[in-house]
């Protein structure tokens, strides 16, 4: 089994000159990437209507804390 790590989905934006961040914790980096896809409409709304200076960022940041989920390695296909 391969350990995977909790990952932070971070939204960063400016509002009236103040840099703000919001963090959502998810079970894995892959889950974070999936969440980013689902948050696209919210991201666009915030970027267009809320964030000032068009400064809006979204990224995944893996932690050093192992998740309780594990990935079973896939066997190599026979060549």
Query: Considering the domain boundaries, does residue 78 fall inside one?
Result: no
Span 7-30, pLDDT tens digits: 999 999 888 888 999 999 998 899
The Cα 18–Cα 76 span in angstroms is 50
Number of structural domains, the chain?
Answer: 1
Q: Give the residue numbers spanning the domain of 15.
A: 2-65
Query: Considering the domain boundaries, does residue 71 fall inside one?
Result: no
Q: Residue 27 is encoded by which pair of tokens?
A: 């079970």
pTM: 0.72
Query: Considering the domain boundaries, does residue 54 fall inside one?
Result: yes
pLDDT at 23: 93
Q: Which residues contact 50 (CB under 8 A, 6 or more apart)?
A: 13, 15
The Cα 36–Cα 70 span in angstroms is 21
CATH number of the CATH domain containing 22: 3.10.20
């Amino acid at each position: 089994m391969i350990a995977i790590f909790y990952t932070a989905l971070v939204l960063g934006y400016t509002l009236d000159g103040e840099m703000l961040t919001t963090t959502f914790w998810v079970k894995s980096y892959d889950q974070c990437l999936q969440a980013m896809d689902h948050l696209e409409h919210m991201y666009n709304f915030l970027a267009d209507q809320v964030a000032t200076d068009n400064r809006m960022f979204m990224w995944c940041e893996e932690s050093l804390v192992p998740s309780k989920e594990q990935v079973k390695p896939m066997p190599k296909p026979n060549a």
